[in-house]
Chain A
Amino acid sequence: MPTRRHAQRNEVSATELAEMGFCEKRVQLVHLYGEQAMPEQRKAMARGQMAHQRYLEEGLAATADRRCFVATFVFGPDARETQVLRAYRDAVLLRRRWGRILVAAYYRVAPTGCRIMARSPATVVRVRRILRVVVAWCEWALGDRRAP
């Protein structure tokens, strides 16, 4: 079906052009008789679509992970402290299974924490103090990892 849609507009998709690298004769036959697939090929295509969906979801989750809720709330999105915590998350936590679990659990509770802090400026001051210690430790840990 996509083949016909593209053909009407004299447009080719990258996938259709890629068929040229597999079998040119097949390209000609598809043009003459339309796309046909064996049952196994249909199953493989369905598996491929599912894998692509998962691949996309992983990518979307990763781009959403740029947020660092509490640090962003306390220090600001571009503050040095926020950058350090993000770097620690990417370089250390996300590379370990337990770390990924910890990050995901944190993302579940962090928005609630931010809502509480929004109502209490005194809490923000206390959290900022605690986070500065955490940031210093993360900085030390990152520096230690980068050292030869």
Chain B
Amino acid sequence: MTWSAAYLLASLVLAVWLVRRWTRLHASCERASRPRELANAELVYMEKLFRIGEPIRLVARVDRAYRLPGGSLVLVELKTRKMSRPYLSDVIQLSAQRLAIEMLTGEVVEPYGYVSVLGGNRKMRSHQVRLLDAEAVVDLYRRREAIRTGRAPPAYASAESACRGCALRSRCDRFGR
């Protein structure tokens, strides 16, 4: 009798633990993580790679793309960082993704996208950003090539604080080295 009660209790504890674990795992479903404005959109691409050769040789992996009821796509990029804000680099990344998708599939991608930031408190917040047009992305690609081949002088990070965590700081001439 005592053993039966012990088995019953152990099974109950195990069941409660499994339910709690499952609930925690599934509490944040895809619906909860998508931007509010995309509530009626359909998730069509996840971690999908797009590669183009024209107008530039570009490869872009899309975190998520949603199709609006009107048929156009909206891009969402996931970032993990303490500060819940989008940066210029996020805008460039999404703009390059947009160019790759439009060139490869011919589909219309909205000129805005979302940067969903997962903060340290495990809460996700989405920020809408306006994307660069194709011409600006191509110009940026050309400027990158010019910098890499020494044909154009590079600009430094806008904030010096960004240099603190840079692994290439010792090789950088910003601080007169």
Binding site for B on A (CB under 8 A): 6, 9-33, 36-38, 40-41, 44, 47-48, 51-52, 55-56, 58-63, 90, 94-95, 97, 100-101, 104
Query: B60 and A13: CB pair below 8 A?
Result: yes
Q: Which residues on the A side are within 8 Å of B162 (C-beta)?
A: 22-23
Contact A18 B168 (CB under 8 A): no
A36 and B96 CA atoms in complex are apart in Å by: 24
B3 interface hit (Cβ, 8 Å): no
CA distance A113 to B43 in the complex (A): 28
What are 5 sample pairs from A and B whose C-beta atoms fall under 8 A apart? Answer: A25-B154, A26-B172, A27-B147, A58-B28, A101-B26
Check B141–A12 contact: CB distance below 8 A. yes
Within 8 A of A (CB), among B48-65: 51, 56-61, 63-64
With A22-B87, A44-B80, A59-B43: A28-B147 Cβ-Cβ less than 8 Å = yes
The docked-state distance in angstroms from the alpha carbon of A119 to that of B160 is 71
Within 8 A of A (CB), among B63-115: 63-64, 78-80, 87-94, 96-97, 100
Q: Which of B47, B51, B93, B157 contacts A18 (CB 8 A)?
A: B93
Contacts of B43 in A (CB 8 A): 59, 62-63
**With contacts A17-B92, A23-B157, A63-B43 known, is A38 near B57, CB below 8 A?**
no
- CA separation between A51 and B31, bound complex, in Å? 16
Answer yes or no: B29 CB below 8 A from chain A CBs: yes
Apart from A12-B56, A97-B23: 4 A-B pairs, beta carbons within 8 A: A14-B59, A23-B166, A24-B147, A28-B154
Taking a contact as CB atoms under 8 Å apart, the answer to whether B57 and A10 are in contact is yes
Main secondary structure on A side of the interface with B: helix
Contact: A29 with B144, CB < 8 Å?
no
Residues from chain A with a CB closer than 8 A to the CB of B11 are none
Interface string of B154-177 (1 = CB under 8 A from A): 111100001101111001101000
| Contact between A14 and B60, CB atoms less than 8 A apart | yes
Q: Is the CB of B58 within 8 A of A26?
A: no
- State the Cβ distance, A108 to closest chain B Cβ, in Å: 10
- Min CB distance B17 to A, Å, is 15
The answer on a CB contact under 8 Å between B29 and A94 is yes
Identify the closest chain B residue to A29 (Cβ): B168
With A17-B92, A17-B144, A20-B92 as given contacts, are A58 and B61 in contact (CB-CB < 8 Å)?
no
Determine if A24 and B90 form an interchain contact, defined as CB atoms under 8 angstroms apart: no
B156 touches A23 (CB 8 A): yes
- Please tell me if B9 contacts chain A, counting CB pairs below 8 Å: no
The answer to whether B143 touches A20 (Cβ under 8 A) is yes
Contacts of A27 in B (CB 8 A): 144, 147-148, 154
